[in-house]
Structure 1
């Protein structure tokens, strides 16, 4: 397999988890993300740099190509600028498909991708005379929680195949096990409790260990794993007072008026998940790149006791907790600064979602 726009390796981690896929090339332009990938899967096949600079002659044959071209132009949180150069990087993906001639390929992107002009162009490329002629495409929105990830993250998944139509995988988990719409056996959604219960409520430090590792001839902070990235923060007294008013599933609307900043006081609707607290027995909402800032989403630790303020954990989730909600294994290695590692975690494909796709593809390969 080849992983393009590989990031820190979330998608590769899911495919490798099945025990049936061997990565032979990966491409990533961000140094710290490429280093994290290399720390976990090897430096020899990771190409750190601009994908456009890789010559056709360097692209190996592969059974499968996976990857998620940068999605900021499509994201609801991005510019939605159709001229954003990041939106054209899917064309590089097609170049790799044409050269490597995989039996199947998988594209992962934000949910909005299916309604973009770039996606419409992609669909045209499988028509006669197109760059992907001979491939059959299937596409859908896939909710990570429906595939065993303790997170309600909705993504667009495109599966291309030249060995016959490969349908989108059936869900393996469900919120309600009695749903009439589910015609096969499924398990219950995994929850925040499944992912982070038992980790120290009070992180021992706010800083990464002082260590370095070398990849691609560059010195990089790392490598870190597990409790190394179970990092606390230093919230202000005002922030602590705000956190203390928010129950599980709540958010900014639970704050008394005197604790509201003007931007929230004057905005009576929308942004309902900011300053939110997770619930132990539900999946989290989407883990984004700034999960350590409660003002950005539902990122407060789920522990909250209505009757006993002493039994509340008033802090945002840690890097380690965020990685577990993204379904990374506890011994996964991370490289970079706190900000860089947070960005890698938030941008990653949930490992369990990638694994579900990988297992499904095996039936057809």
Structure 2
């Protein structure tokens, strides 16, 4: 069985998915205590190291895993500075944790690398950073490819896009998973429709008669005005434009705003957004107030959010409610990671039959092909 270590494991989304694909997780590292406790609880046969990777030595890792061979190194170095939502500060010190990832790759020389990041990494303003990352791996002998994958194409009931960088030491092009689910009824191919929120709730909430991380009391809406408003919102709807307010809310619950004076005459983000059981969700983030239950006047529970992220129902999150939400929202969806892991294992089987690839890819080609979902 192929082995791996997860350098920024968080609660273990990538590790969970890779194990679904058939890998064996030797070690997870993270600086966040509650996240690592969740990782360790759900990966009892793996080692765990709490700490900043910049302060963790190669010898410490070797000792922890008893000098076992490492076939793959994976992780998502903190990427706040690359985010299309955040401040996009290329000088953010967290971005340079990539060099710690590189340090471990150089030390252990795994046959494969898997690094995930936000789509903002491929923005033109981050072109120099992307070039540095690719060239750094090239210099260590890795053939690298970069793609943006959308989670709903791989069984995750959620529209979540992640940049997936793959590398191998065999000089061949990396293999990415083909789409397993189409986008909608309008998509002409013969693939099945994406999994939905209803599918997640029907399949990923209960395990052997138990439902973990599902305290309904913590999902109640404390603000009375907010609770009254959500009561009137139909499934799958929300308030962004004045026409939404007119359609769904009685006058006494209208927002105290002048729609003509709001930028673009709309809220920046949809308010009171109910999920739709018959559709996949928007991106689950670290805040429980982003979405509301499809039919009940409340927020989601951590279990419901984890199900939409495609975590198995027996994957238990530890820590406070806010810590659980942070762990879930920051995770890579396991089913997405599993699909990537399957292709890495396929490449390992085919490596001697594939023709050699261009060792140093053209950056413009990388960026132009990255968003191809075919």
Distance 1:199 1:100, change over 3 A: closer
Residue range with higher mean Cα deviation, 144-153 or 188-197: 188-197
Correspondence 1:4-15 to 2 at 5 A? 4-15=7-18
User: Which whole-Å CA distance do the structure 2 matches of 1:227 and 1:57 have between them?
Assistant: 37
Alignment match, 2:195: 190
Per the alignment, residue 121 of structure 1 pairs with 132
SS at match of 1:73: helix
Task: State the match for 2:80 in structure 1.
Answer: 72
Q: CA deviation at 1:353?
A: 0.4
Q: Distance in 2 between matches of 1:143 and 1:70?
A: 20
The answer on 1:302 being equivalent to 2:289 is no
Partner of 2:220: 233
Deviations 1:113-152 (A, max 9, x none): 122242221122244xx3x3x2111111100000110000
Residue 278 of structure 1: aligned partner = 275
Q: Name the counterpart of 1:214.
A: none
Q: How many residues end up aligned between the 2 structures?
A: 320
TM-score by length of 1: 0.81
1:225 Cα shift?
Answer: 6.3
> Any conservation in 2 of the 1:59–1:99 contact (CA below 8 Å)?
no
Is the counterpart of residue 334 in structure 1 residue 330 in structure 2? Answer: no
Superposed counterparts of 1:96-111, under 5 Å: 96-111=104-119
2:91 paired residue number? 83
Deviation at 1:235, TM superposition (A): 2.6
TM-score by length of 2: 0.79
Deviations 1:157-193 (A, max 9, x none): 111111222122211111236735x5xx633200000
Greater helix share, structure number: 2
Instruction: Quote how far apart the aligned CAs of 1:301 are.
Output: 1.2
**Which residue pairs with 2:43 in the alignment?**
41
Matched residue, 1:167: 175
| 1:266 alignment partner in structure 2 | 262
Query: Is contact 1:232-1:318 (8 Å) kept?
Result: yes
* C-alpha distance 50-162 of structure 1, shift in aligned 2 (>3 A): same
User: Which position in structure 2 is the counterpart of 1:248?
Assistant: 235
Residue 352 of structure 1 is matched in structure 2 by 335
CA contact (8 A) 1:177 1:186 kept: no
2:163 match = 156
CA distance in structure 2 between the partners assigned to 1:198 and 1:21 by the alignment: 24
Counterpart CA distance in 1 for 2:130 and 2:232 is 43
Query: Contact between 1:138 and 1:158, CA under 8 Å: does it hold in 2?
Result: yes
Pick which of 71-80 and 94-103 moved more: 71-80
Structure 1 unaligned residues grouped into runs of 5+: 201-223, 304-312
Residue 67 of structure 1 deviates from its aligned partner by 0.8
